[in-house]
Amino acid sequence: MNDDRYIIFYKPYGVLSQFTKDSPNRSTLKDYIQVADVYPVGRLDWDSEGLLLLTNNGQLQHRLSHPQFGHERTYLVQVERIPDADALQKLQTGVQVQDYRTRPTKVRLLAEEPLLSDRDPPIRFRKNVPTAWLEMTLTEGKNRQVRRMTAAVGFPTLRLVRIAIAHLKLDHLQPGEWRKLTLEEVKLLHILTKSQKKAN
């Protein structure tokens, strides 16, 4: 009998993407998820929020985590100040970050602030410095990549929320909530990893 488990979790700010504590004061996945033997696919930094996929299917976990299997990850990114057309163009075509150049990225400046739960604690607020929201879709997930990209073009990230991994979306989940994937979502995940295998 197939005992594969797949869940998505809305990781709150300040929670580590692991089940073991590295310090007494930090929350981990164990504080929210009581499902045996599931592990995160990739990670979100402790100061990032949003969608985290967890499974006990090691092969699928490996495929989705491996850099060569590029799949889309979409983020809502609040940045300091309002990015101009030049900065947006650089983000879209790729920027130099440390020792690598990022792949082309889908980027759009949002006209309105997205509907998100308040962050606890809230971002630092500077009365004389406006902020803007970007939607960014990447096909790679290097360490702190979104933050490094926006900083490289002069607009530091203040808040970062992952809202989608491929076809999986947060939808109506609130921070700290999780749900099992539907059969259709699981089926599409397996189709995605098989198509990645053929492409590589």
Please report the sign of the dihedral spanned by the C-alpha atoms of residue 91, residue 92, residue 93, residue 97: positive
Please report the sign of the dihedral spanned by the C-alpha atoms of residue 147, residue 113, residue 127, residue 47: negative
Q: Which of 66, 60, 73, 68 is nearest to 191 (CA)?
A: 60
Residue numbers annotated as active site: 45
> How far is Cα 124 from Cα 87, in angstroms, rounded to an integer?
23
> How far is Cα 170 from Cα 131, in angstroms, rounded to an integer?
24
Say how many residues make up the chain. Answer: 200
Q: Which position has the token pair 């005992």? A: 3
Q: Which position has the token pair 């709150």? A: 12
